[in-house]
Structure 1
């Protein structure tokens, strides 16, 4: 019973190896670039949400400032703490937006075609890592802002 399973596994592995070897360098580079842009295309629409939430959190800060002016000393302390939290969230949202814009500014599509395949793949691997970091920052800051605004 184990022998047929092992045989099937070996055949599948060999088939995958032959398939991978059959790709041209251009196809491999194109697939790597497609992976990078799949992440970009998933995250880019979230920039609108970043802007909207940043605006809402800033409006909350304005409300807190107005409330603080009319409040007691104990209220002032609570408002100051919440204001600090809101300002940190605004900074995180701004940073997420900046990271995306910076990534798009530095990405060099036309350079990839001029590079040897090995260098192009190395470049794309680095770009995939960068855009994945941007995605994490954007989704994290959106989650944080959403949770903050829900409790208010």
Structure 2
């Protein structure tokens, strides 16, 4: 089976290049970079919420541990399930935070300025995909944490 010549991201890059034909390569690259950083700037303030949610979940886990120690065996299973769910959410929040930090550390603005416009636009399309994935993971884990923490 042969591989398609153009991938979806390749088509997007090419369409971006055609769209950018009316602009200089530098303008198109700057606009694409602004789009990437608009997503970053939307998500970055949520890292504080990620940290707060993790702290609240860890406190909830500690409270569940002490409740289980003093509770009856009949409530033990429910507490175990709740604790496991809280731990899974903590892991998702930790992953989301880690992905954001990794994205920021690997983003290479210096190299971007040295690339030809076509390569820079391709790189920025990849970065946009990555930061969009980070945004999704942060938003989903925060939503899950909020729903869990609102339960009595």
Q: Is this a same-fold pair by TM over 0.5?
A: yes
Q: CA RMSD of the aligned region, Å?
A: 1.3
Q: In structure 1, how many angstroms separate the alpha carbons of the residues matched to 2:30 and 2:121?
A: 9
Q: In structure 1, how many angstroms separate the alpha carbons of the residues matched to 2:112 and 2:25?
A: 12
Q: How many residues align?
A: 135
Q: TM-score, normalised by structure 1?
A: 0.86
Q: In structure 1, how many angstroms separate the alpha carbons of the residues matched to 2:21 and 2:135?
A: 32
Deviations 1:86-140 (CA, angstroms, capped at 9, x unpaired): 0001000000100000000000011100001111000000000000000000000
Cα 1:128–1:19 shift into 2, 3 Å: closer
Q: Which runs of 4+ in 1 moved over 4 A?
A: none
Larger Rg: 1
2:94 is the counterpart of 1:90: no
Q: Equivalent residue for 1:116?
A: 116
Q: In structure 1, how many angstroms separate the alpha carbons of the residues matched to 2:144 and 2:122?
A: 33
Cα 1:145–1:25 shift into 2, 3 Å: same
Q: TM-score, normalised by structure 2?
A: 0.86
Deviations 1:65-104 (CA, angstroms, capped at 9, x unpaired): 0000011111111100000000001000000100000000
Q: Equivalent residue for 2:62?
A: 62
Q: Secondary structure at the match of 1:23?
A: coil
Segments of structure 2 that go 5 or more residues without pairing to the other structure are 1-17
Q: Equivalent residue for 1:73?
A: 73
Q: Equivalent residue for 2:25?
A: 25
